Copies of this chain bind each other. A is one copy, B any other.
Amino acid sequence: MGTWPERVSLREVGPRDGLQNEAPVPTDAKVRLLDLLPGTGLRRIEAVSFVHPRAIPQMADAEEVWARARKHPDVRYSALVPNLKGAQRAIAAGFTELEMVVSASDTHNRKNVNRSTAESLDDIAGVVQHVHDAGGTLEVIVSTSFGCPYEGEVPTSRVLDVVRRAVADGADRIAFGDTTGVATPGRVAALVDGYLATHAGTPFLLHFHNTRGTALANILTAMEHGATEFDASVGGLGGCPYAPGASGNVATEEVVHMLEDMGVATGVDLEALLEVARYAQDVVGHELPSAVLKAGPRTVTVPA
């Protein structure tokens, strides 16, 4: 096992992945959340997705949200797209950093988009072409990278097969999604090692859910094996669609709180981030799962 990196790059996914998995919130609140986040020091934000409004009503106002949001000049904003049509919408809206999802598990992919993983992979080259022609980049997010809610085990070799095809077809970046929070450190080590042995030239990111409490341990192991990019969601926005009441996305505050205390720089101001987490909690109107939001940072003391 290796050492810890001096710094990591966090991508905040609360505005998109988080809010997409909460009950719909007003457009104004989405814009406000996007406007608040850069003040925390976060420099990558997944802003919206361009999906069919019947499929994901939470993102029906994506164009309006993005048009009204202040774009911070130092922030990399990204948008999720399901297909070529979504990519066209994202580019028309001004995005240059796009993401597209494919599940390593066939059953999960069919449930999501009604086709096999292989059929979804066949789309990537066309989307890449369109995005590159527009001067943008495409990240392929491999969901169910550590296990599938329907099939159970997803072998690392299958995940790496999906990666191989995506990279061959022009993907600029890869992300591994722990869609239902089933990753544990041994699986993380195996996937990161396997990836770096074959695709060290392509940037990669890990997206962990804290559904079973392992997200921070997984990030720790991933760093020790060479990973430096992670998704996280302010307040832990998002929940878990497969286990009602359980946590989904790891909370950005928990990641920042742990890493900064370890001497791994995130560039994020924890107090400012907690302010935004409290705003996010007000917006969704229920308690968010972030432990640091509940308990406060480790530096908080009580009067003797």
Contacts and interface: CB of A to CB of B under 8 A. Distances in A.
Contacts of A246: 291, 294-295
Contact of A302 (B4, B150, B187, B220): B150
B185 A291 contact: no
A214 interface: yes
Nearest to A254: B213
A186 interface: yes
A184 B258 contact: yes
Interface string A266-292: 000000000000000000000000111
Nearest to A181: B295
Interface residues of A, number: 56
A201 interface: no
B301 A245 contact: no
At the interface, is chain A mostly helix, strand, loop or mixed? loop
Interface in A143-159: 147-152
A243 B214 CA distance: 22
Contacts of A245: 294
A251 interface: yes
A295 to B, nearest CB: 4
Given A1-B224, A184-B257, 10 more contacts: A1-B2, A111-B304, A185-B262, A187-B261, A213-B215, A213-B216, A214-B257, A216-B216, A243-B296, A246-B295
A245 to B, nearest CB: 6
A148 to B, nearest CB: 8
Contacts of A151: 301, 304
Interface string A35-74: 0000000000000000000000000000000000000000
Interface in A238-252: 240, 242-243, 245-247, 251
A135 interface: no
Given A220-B217, A301-B151, A301-B152, A295 B185 contact: no
